[in-house]
């Protein structure tokens, strides 16, 4: 029997209201969630950490502590961006180790790890540390479509993940591009070849997720990611209620309806940030961008008074993606491709301005591109410089002690230190507000991406 994973408190609200839900808005019903019967709940990671410190003035670790305390019968899980952790660049191994060990201390049951390029080298350290702490590690296949991304590619990558010790596999279809046929074939083959649970995660932005889910269920998928209806569909996951009904109501339907009623009121609190997507957007099938990237792209263009360029940007995104060797569009590659596409349209000349992130991507600093990159772009961006061929994190020096010396008394705990390392000046400002302290910090950990990007979470997924 297919089991349910709830995403309401992480990807559901991230996709619909840009991760603006406060802990106080969901804390009163955590005990109700705990009695529904979910296999697990995705409650942390992704953009939640960033949003807590950037917009909500909340301690993300206190949020996690509250959730763990109230969810006594339900497993909790988080989304981890591999070597990017919950940030937007590669961090040194010592930072990965500290972060995962802290997560383990707070009682995390499952960590879903993914790499935007499906480069296993970027996941080795996080898998290794999590396994040492007896955390269930779920390896994610970042799904996309391109000339090189086919059934064989994904089966081979699943084997790499399993060979490195993951306990389960999730097909992470962030742009909602998975067709029913591919969902059936991929799940069927994964089940046939590998003796681990298989999960499906998709977004309904293009309208295909629900039918892909049914095809996956027919193929024997073990788990599906769904959200309560107020934070489902559109650019989020399919709604839990109809699937629960169709599968014979293994979950407590009355509790689901009560929770849905409650969260419709919560959603009303966030009208300004609400995606308000009333139907599918078929443009996604061509642009191939994930729900979180689309909603935040619209928001960013509005803020820059450039919303009229949206159609041009959506046309440019797949062209940039092709030039970069068809990376799946998920954090951080969604930012890299999205911002460069905007610049290409804004300047009315392709690659007149090339972001530092695109240059670093072409250098191999984010990992190995799935396909060869455009040679002209490579030459224009790097000149005679050659891309690296090692694991990107091997080039990073340990960061923790240097950061500790720089931030000094402003970081009272390891959790504070991680906030600073992961988010630089944004983290520093949060800590100053938290403790009402003033301190001179010159150590800059975060580099901005051109003037266009005021917010590193422009397209968080």
Range in 2-11, 364-373, 399-408, 433-442 with the lowest mean pLDDT: 433-442
Q: What is the pLDDT of residue 277?
A: 79
Q: Which residue shows structure tokens 């820059």?
A: 304
pLDDT band of residue 452 (cuts 50, 70, 90) is: very low
pLDDT band of residue 147 (cuts 50, 70, 90) is: very high
The answer to whether residue 327 scores a pLDDT higher than 50 is yes
Count the neighbouring beta carbons within 10 Å of the beta carbon of residue 432. 14
- H or E element in which residue 365 lies: none
What is the Cα–Cα distance from 97 to 124, expressed in whole angstroms?
11
Could you tell me the sign of the dihedral formed by the alpha carbons of 118, 120, 123, 129, in that order? positive
The answer to whether residue 440 scores a pLDDT higher than 60 is no
Residue 153: both structure tokens together: 């590619």
Residue 268: both structure tokens together: 């009303």
Q: What is the pLDDT of residue 291?
A: 62
Rg (C-alpha) for the chain, rounded Å, is 21
The answer to whether residue 9 scores a pLDDT higher than 60 is yes
What is the Cα–Cα distance from 22 to 312, expressed in whole angstroms?
35
Q: What is the pLDDT of residue 236?
A: 94
Which 3-state string (H, E, C) describes 131-190?
Answer: HHCCCEEEEEEECCCCCCCCHHHHHHHHHHHHHCCCCEEEEEECCCCCCHHHHHHHHHHH
Q: What is the pLDDT of residue 282?
A: 76
Q: What is the pLDDT of residue 445?
A: 44
pLDDT band of residue 461 (cuts 50, 70, 90) is: very low
Average pLDDT over residues 116-133: 98
Q: What is the pLDDT of residue 275?
A: 81
Range in 187-201, 284-298, 361-375 with the lowest mean pLDDT: 284-298
Q: What is the pLDDT of residue 457?
A: 38
Q: What is the pLDDT of residue 292?
A: 63
Residue % of the chain over a pLDDT of 70: 94
Give start and end residues of each alpha helix (H) in 204-274: 209-218, 240-246, 253-268
The answer to whether residue 396 scores a pLDDT higher than 80 is yes
Average pLDDT over residues 386-395: 96
Model pTM greater than 0.75?
A: yes
Q: What is the pLDDT of residue 284?
A: 74
Average pLDDT over residues 224-250: 97
- State the chain's mean pLDDT as an integer: 92
pLDDT band of residue 447 (cuts 50, 70, 90) is: very low
Average pLDDT over residues 358-364: 97
DSSP state of 208: -
> What is the per-residue pLDDT across 256-308, written as a single tens digit (0 to 9) for each?
999 999 999 999 999 998 888 777 777 777 777 776 677 667 777 888 888 99
The answer to whether residue 168 scores a pLDDT higher than 50 is yes
* Residue scoring higher pLDDT (171 or 445): 171
The answer to whether residue 337 scores a pLDDT higher than 60 is yes
The answer to whether residue 107 scores a pLDDT higher than 70 is yes
Residue % of the chain over a pLDDT of 90: 84
Domains of the chain and CATH, by start:
3-269 (3.20.20.70), 282-394 (1.10.472.90), 406-449 (no CATH)
Please, which residues have CB within 8 angstroms of residue 378's CB and are 6 or more apart in sequence? 362, 387
What is the Cα–Cα distance from 60 to 62, expressed in whole angstroms?
5
Q: What is the pLDDT of residue 437?
A: 59
Range in 54-63, 338-347, 362-371, 444-453 with the lowest mean pLDDT: 444-453
pLDDT band of residue 355 (cuts 50, 70, 90) is: very high
Average pLDDT over residues 212-238: 97
Please, which residues have CB within 8 angstroms of residue 395's CB and are 6 or more apart in sequence? 365, 388
Q: Which residue shows structure tokens 């408190």?
A: 9
Q: What is the pLDDT of residue 64?
A: 98
Q: What is the pLDDT of residue 222?
A: 98
The answer to whether residue 28 scores a pLDDT higher than 50 is yes
The answer to whether residue 426 scores a pLDDT higher than 70 is yes
* Residue scoring higher pLDDT (408 or 91): 91
pLDDT band of residue 455 (cuts 50, 70, 90) is: very low
Secondary structure of residue 295 in the 3-state scheme: helix
Average pLDDT over residues 7-25: 96
The answer to whether residue 460 scores a pLDDT higher than 50 is no
Contact in structure between 218 and 252 (CB atoms under 8 Å): no
């Amino acid at each position: 029997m297919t089991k349910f994973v709830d995403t309401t408190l992480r990807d559901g609200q991230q996709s619909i209201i840009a991760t603006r839900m406060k802990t106080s808005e969901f804390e009163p019903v955590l005990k109700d969630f705990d009695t529904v019967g979910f296999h697990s709940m995705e409650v942390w990671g992704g953009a939640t950490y960033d949003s807590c410190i950037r917009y909500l003035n909340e301690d993300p670790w206190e949020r996690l502590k509250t959730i763990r305390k109230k969810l006594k019968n339900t497993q909790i899980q988080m989304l981890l961006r591999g070597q990017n952790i919950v940030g937007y660049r590669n961090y040194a191994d010592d930072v990965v180790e500290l972060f995962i060990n802290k997560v383990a201390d707070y009682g995390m049951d499952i960590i879903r790890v993914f790499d935007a390029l499906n480069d296993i080298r970027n996941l080795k350290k996080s898998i290794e540390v999590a396994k040492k702490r007896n955390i269930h590690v779920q390896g994610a296949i970042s799904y996309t479509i391109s000339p090189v991304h086919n059934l064989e590619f994904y089966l081979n990558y699943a084997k790499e993940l399993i060979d490195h010790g993951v306990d389960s596999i999730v097909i992470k279809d962030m742009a909602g591009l998975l067709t029913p046929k591919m969902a059936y074939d991929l799940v069927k083959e994964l089940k046939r070849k590998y003796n681990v649970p298989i999960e499906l995660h998709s977004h309904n932005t293009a309208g295909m997720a629900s039918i892909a889910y049914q095809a996956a269920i027919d193929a024997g998928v073990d788990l599906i990611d769904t959200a309560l209806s107020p934070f489902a569909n559109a650019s989020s996951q399919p709604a839990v209620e109809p699937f629960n009904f169709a599968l014979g109501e293994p979950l407590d339907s009355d509790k689901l309806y009560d929770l849905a009623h409650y969260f419709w009121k919560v959603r009303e609190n966030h009208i300004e940030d609400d995606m308000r997507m009333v139907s599918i957007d078929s443009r996604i099938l061509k642009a191939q961008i994930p729900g979180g990237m689309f909603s935040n792209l619209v928001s960013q263009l509005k803020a820059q008074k450039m919303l009229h360029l949206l159609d041009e940007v959506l046309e440019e995104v797949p062209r940039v993606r092709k030039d970069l060797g068809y990376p799946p569009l998920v954090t951080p590659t969604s930012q890299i491709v999205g911002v460069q596409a905007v610049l290409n349209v804004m300047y009315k000349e392709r690659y007149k301005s090339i972001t530092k992130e695109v240059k670093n991507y072409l250098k191999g600093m984010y990992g190995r591109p799935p396909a060869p990159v455009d040679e002209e772009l490579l030459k224009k961006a790097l000149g005679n410089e050659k891309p690296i061929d090692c694991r990107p994190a091997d080039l990073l020096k340990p960061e923790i002690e240097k950061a500790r010396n720089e931030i000094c008394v402003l970081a009272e705990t390891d959790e504070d230190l991680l906030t600073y390392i992961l988010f630089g000046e944004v983290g520093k400002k949060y800590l100053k507000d938290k403790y009402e302290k003033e301190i001179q910090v010159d150590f800059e950990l975060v580099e901005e991406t051109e003037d266009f990007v005021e917010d590193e979470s422009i397209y968080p997924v």
